Amino acid sequence: MTSLRAYVLAWAVRRKIRARLGPMLDVARVRRTLEGPAFPEPGGVTYEPGSVGGIPCERVRRGAGEDRPRLFYLHGGGFIACSPRTHRPLTGYFAQRGFDVFVPDYRLAPEHPFPAALDDALAAWRAVSAGGPAVIAGDSAGGNLALALMLRARDAGLPLPRAAALFSPATDMLGSGQSYRTNAGRDAMFDPEGLRRLAPLYLAGADPAGPLVSPLYADLAGLPPLLVHVGERELLRDDSSRLAEAARAAGVSVDLTVFPVVPHVWQFAHGFLPEARRSLDAAAAFLRAHAADAAKPADAAAQVDQT
């Protein structure tokens, strides 16, 4: 059952976020809009700056010295905005539930276009995975990077995550899903033309249908189990539903849930919205179940170097 708060949040996002983003022609304005404080950081956890694999990284955890599942989290932001700090409402939530969370601060476009963010994610993942089993999660552009990272790791013979949780992942840079048209007026956050303008900033001439840019078109065989959550009214709805279909066809286990009414990456609002808590709790349970033996002490290669 959809909560009344879901309608309230969608209205607020439309009024305060979509109106400010506008046509997304101004990168600085997009960054100010997406990086402004909106939701509180969860308490009872530490946010530790440092680096992993030579990449700036924030480690988020509750306490120290305990064996716990290790989560590699890739933040969203349209490839041009946000950071580990902006996504503390999400990473802190997972830390509160016992995960040791590593959040790389990958380089952003347009200053650093594709494949800079993916290269950074892979370098950090190489170090984290050297310390033992881990799981992965990401939202929006971070969901895209999580998929591309798994493809590169698979092809390079690197360890794969035990499982992946993806929140409204961007999987098709061509924007060819029907939801780009049917949800053009219903998406609370994005205008379809504005969203399409982000792609060239990230791609800088790269093929928008390339498998590491649009994982929807990749060979997905061999990927770990996926949990995918998306909003029914999102422009990116079909990026998720078509990904689930393609992954299942490739023999990958997929748990797809489409939530009504909620806006893009509604999980940020877990302090207010029951659908956000339901999504994050399901993701945490899914990741923990697949990381049953992943809570091992990380060796030096997987530690965040303190700075």
Which are the catalytic amino acids? Answer: 140, 234, 264
Please state, in angstroms and as integers, the Cα–Cα distance from residue 148 to each residue in 79, 121, 139, 247, 250, following that order. Answer: 13, 10, 13, 13, 16
Longest Cα–Cα distance in the chain: 50
| Spatial contact of 209 and 173, defined as CB atoms under 8 Å apart | yes
What is the C-alpha to C-alpha distance for residues 77 and 75, in angstroms, rounded to an integer?
Answer: 7
Helix (H) or strand (E) holding 46: strand 46-52
Task: Indicate the SS3 state at residue 52.
Answer: strand
Cis amide prior to 263 (ω within 30 degrees) = no
What is the C-alpha to C-alpha distance for residues 47 and 88, in angstroms, rounded to an integer?
Answer: 8
What is the C-alpha to C-alpha distance for residues 114 and 91, in angstroms, rounded to an integer?
Answer: 25
What is the C-alpha to C-alpha distance for residues 249 and 264, in angstroms, rounded to an integer?
Answer: 26
CA angle at 242 for the pair 128 and 155, rounded to the nearest 5° = 35
